[in-house]
Amino acid sequence: MELQFDTSVQFVKGIGPKLGDFLRSRGIERVQDLLEYYPRAYEDRRAVCHIQSLVPDQLVSLKAHIHKVRSMPMGKSNRRIWEVVVADSTGRIACKYFRMPYKGYFERFEPFQEVRVIGKVTHYRGTMEFHHPDIHPTAQDEVNENSLVPIYAAIEGLTSSKISRLLKTLLTQSIPETLPAWIREKYALLSLDPALKQIHQPPVELGDQFLSFSSPAQRRVIFDEFFTLELHLALKKAGLEKERSTPIAARGLWSEALKNNLTFRLTQAQLRAFQEITLDLQKPHPMHRLVQGDVGSGKTLVALMAAAFAAEGGVQTALMVPTELLADQHFHNAEKYLRPLGIGVGLLTSQTKSKERATLLGDLGAGRVQLLIGTHALIQDDVEFHNLGLVVIDEQHRFGVEQRNRLKCKGLSPHFLVMTATPIPRTLAMTVYGDLDVSVIDEMPLGRQPIVTRKTFQSKRNLIASFVTAQLKKGRQAYFVYPLIEESETLELKNALEEFEQVTKEFAGFKVGLLHGRMKAAEKDDVMGRFRAGEIQILVSTTVIEVGVDVPNATLMVIEHAERFGLSQLHQLRGRVGRGEHKSFCILVLGYALSDEATQRAEIMERTSDGFKIAEADLEMRGPGEFLGTRQSGLPGFKMANLVRDVRILQEARAAAFALIERDPTLSQAEHSELQVRLEQVMKTWVG
């Protein structure tokens, strides 16, 4: 019998109304959801393993007996570490738990009870141990020797083995195919029926392939996940190409004038990006372009030139940025470069006074303001443009899809330009920005010197201070940045003040300023203004300066507690220096509670300043979910696919999806109807 993906789980053999309700409440509603509840790992029972011969990082399934169970206090907090020591004939090993899996977990065990321990071996201070392994009694295990046992994430009381049994019944039926034959043939893909069956009941002879996610069955399912996403992107892109908008009729005289007024020359990469933009702006359908360029590569100017081009063509531009600091700075630049050309520039943030705001909105509605720069304040309902033709979003990863769309809606199919300084590895860019055209600014302005980066420790405070002092005496300026230790307003303020006091004491004779997120906009402006003017030599700051801030005379970036920052944040912070003619330095001050990853991050920072390399490393260390923040990016949560591990499959799936849309732009052919259904389902669970 052939199963139907759409059938409610309640009708699966072994699932009654009660279990059915429970599963539904956990998002497993249809047969398909259950089929796609993939094992989170496989337990390898092909070889017997012994405690004595365990090696670090090995994922093992071990038969042993309980030696003892105990708990002890964890540092000064009132939390406890639990320890279950297990033994076999060759030795003992501790299983440590830093939180209790569930109440009563440890009370289950009795001395000498035979258990199976499944987990990854960790090497810690010279001994092997497990952290948070699964431990369960062996009683019903024995039939499963020499096999690969799927392990499912338990759904509360519903254990892995129960889930396994439900699937076993379900999988006696045959599973219909979803991909058209020509795609399966072209990419040598296994049919869905054997693929799903093997994933839930892996053949022991393919054990190694399954453990490394390289079996044909897994490849097929991973392909499907990527394929649906890429199909969505291909359709979206095809749709955009059909959307109409009025071409911007400009000759580029204004942007040319802007260029000629500069005291420096644009890089080839900037010129290329600008040219790609102007070609788009003159087309009868809206531009949809991403400018990707490392910190300091000069994206702002490209955007301002685009705004000049749009203004010459008689349409307005909106430039939205994530912070007030950045809005101020862009406004400052726009005044400098666009005002002389007779282009009206406005600034709108939540700090804009209501009288000014009213005047500004009046000018905007009348078309007297041709470039409006601002924060989220731009998307408020009463902000109405005369004819918004170009929307630019800076540091676009800081905004949600909806915010971007709301700004777009203020015009009639306006051209759309997004900029990001978080270099995104190509593979990710392909999925996240799959429907965008991309311009890459892969060249730094002339004369930039590489920033020397060194990690050091808090204990070297004196050395750091004398190094900084020497720089200050040469007339340079410095940032001291420290992390938000807790997201609490009072604490942030306390930390800011403490750090400020310490730095002021350490550098008596120099003027120190303080900048943090809790300050009023006017105070921030004042401090930034004085730092820019050189009146303040050291700026103590939280990460509010992370994006955009541009003071070329600042050549020192001291990052306190660098271990608390992620790679991309460190890279962004470092990008605040090295912006002028002088040699710049970044000092990563590490605390003592160091994890391996923190050290690794600091070393990567020392090794390279190439944002793309850093992003690749970051992605590899953190995985795509955390790298992007799934919610923010509109990226679907994949059930099996992994953007780092499965890049090759992603590329194939993308090619296949775009080829299919070329053949059948509306997915109306019969052999594609199942795909249409899938696509609609995925879209429901998805923000992008």
Task: Give me the residues that bind ligand ADP (CB under 6 A), please.
Answer: 264-267, 270, 293, 295-301, 421, 445-446, 550, 552, 579
Least Å from the CB of residue 630 to ligand ADP: 26
Minimum CB distance to ligand ADP smaller for 446 or for 508: 446
Minimum CB distance to ligand ADP smaller for 61 or for 396: 396
Least Å from the CB of residue 407 to ligand ADP: 19
Q: How large is the angle between the packed helices 216-242 and 673-684, nearest 10 degrees?
A: 80
Binding mask 519-548 for Mg ion (x = CB under 5 A): -----------------------------x
For residue 542, the partner it binds in ligand ADP, Mg ion, none, with Cβ less than 5 to 8 A by kind, is none
For residue 293, the partner it binds in ligand ADP, Mg ion, none, with Cβ less than 5 to 8 A by kind, is ligand ADP
Minimum CB distance to ligand ADP smaller for 299 or for 672: 299
For residue 550, the partner it binds in ligand ADP, Mg ion, none, with Cβ less than 5 to 8 A by kind, is ligand ADP
Of all residues in this chain, which one has the CB nearest to Mg ion in the complex?
548
Least Å from the CB of residue 421 to Mg ion: 6
Using an 8 Å Cβ cutoff, are 184 and 191 in contact? yes
Q: How far apart are CA 154 and CA 547, in angstroms?
A: 42
Minimum CB distance to Mg ion smaller for 150 or for 293: 293
Q: What are phi and psi of 573, to 5 degrees?
A: -65, -45
Burial of 396 from C-beta contacts in 10 A (0-12 / 13-18 / 19+): buried
For residue 296, the partner it binds in Mg ion, ligand ADP, none, with Cβ less than 5 to 8 A by kind, is ligand ADP
Least Å from the CB of residue 457 to ligand ADP: 30
Minimum CB distance to ligand ADP smaller for 430 or for 440: 440
**Exposed e or buried b for every residue in 528-567, given b needs 16+ CB within 10 A?**
beebbeeebbbbbbbbbbbbbbbbebbbbbbbbbbbbbbb
Least Å from the CB of residue 325 to Mg ion: 11
Least Å from the CB of residue 320 to ligand ADP: 14
Q: How far apart are CA 26 and CA 34, in angstroms?
A: 11
Minimum CB distance to ligand ADP smaller for 575 or for 624: 575
Size of the site for Mg ion (CB under 5 A): 1
Q: How far apart are CA 528 and CA 513, in angstroms?
A: 9
For residue 264, the partner it binds in ligand ADP, Mg ion, none, with Cβ less than 5 to 8 A by kind, is ligand ADP
Least Å from the CB of residue 444 to ligand ADP: 8
* Other CB atoms within 10 Å distance of the CB of residue 11: 11
Least Å from the CB of residue 101 to ligand ADP: 45
Alpha-carbon distances, residue 484 vs 190, 212, 524, 586 (angstroms):
50, 38, 18, 19
Using an 8 Å Cβ cutoff, are 561 and 533 in contact? no
Least Å from the CB of residue 446 to Mg ion: 18
For the CA atoms of 49, 53, 59, 65, what is the dihedral angle to 10 degrees? 50
Secondary structure (DSSP) of 361-416: HHHHHTT---EEEESGGGGSTT---SSEEEEEESSGGGS-HHHHHHHHTTSSS-EE
Say which amino acid occupies 172: T
469's tokens: 């002092």
From first CA to last CA, the distance across the chain in angstroms is 37
Burial of 509 from C-beta contacts in 10 A (0-12 / 13-18 / 19+): exposed
Minimum CB distance to ligand ADP smaller for 170 or for 478: 478
Minimum CB distance to ligand ADP smaller for 299 or for 415: 299
For residue 445, the partner it binds in Mg ion, ligand ADP, none, with Cβ less than 5 to 8 A by kind, is ligand ADP
Q: How far apart are CA 283 and CA 240, in angstroms?
A: 12
Say which amino acid occupies 248: I
Q: How far apart are CA 244 and CA 412, in angstroms?
A: 9
Least Å from the CB of residue 306 to ligand ADP: 13
DSSP lists the bridge partners of residue 96 as: 83, 131
Minimum CB distance to ligand ADP smaller for 367 or for 552: 552
For residue 513, the partner it binds in ligand ADP, Mg ion, none, with Cβ less than 5 to 8 A by kind, is none
Minimum CB distance to ligand ADP smaller for 314 or for 445: 445
For residue 266, the partner it binds in Mg ion, ligand ADP, none, with Cβ less than 5 to 8 A by kind, is ligand ADP
For residue 297, the partner it binds in ligand ADP, Mg ion, none, with Cβ less than 5 to 8 A by kind, is ligand ADP
Interface with Mg ion by CB under 5 A: which residues? Answer: 548
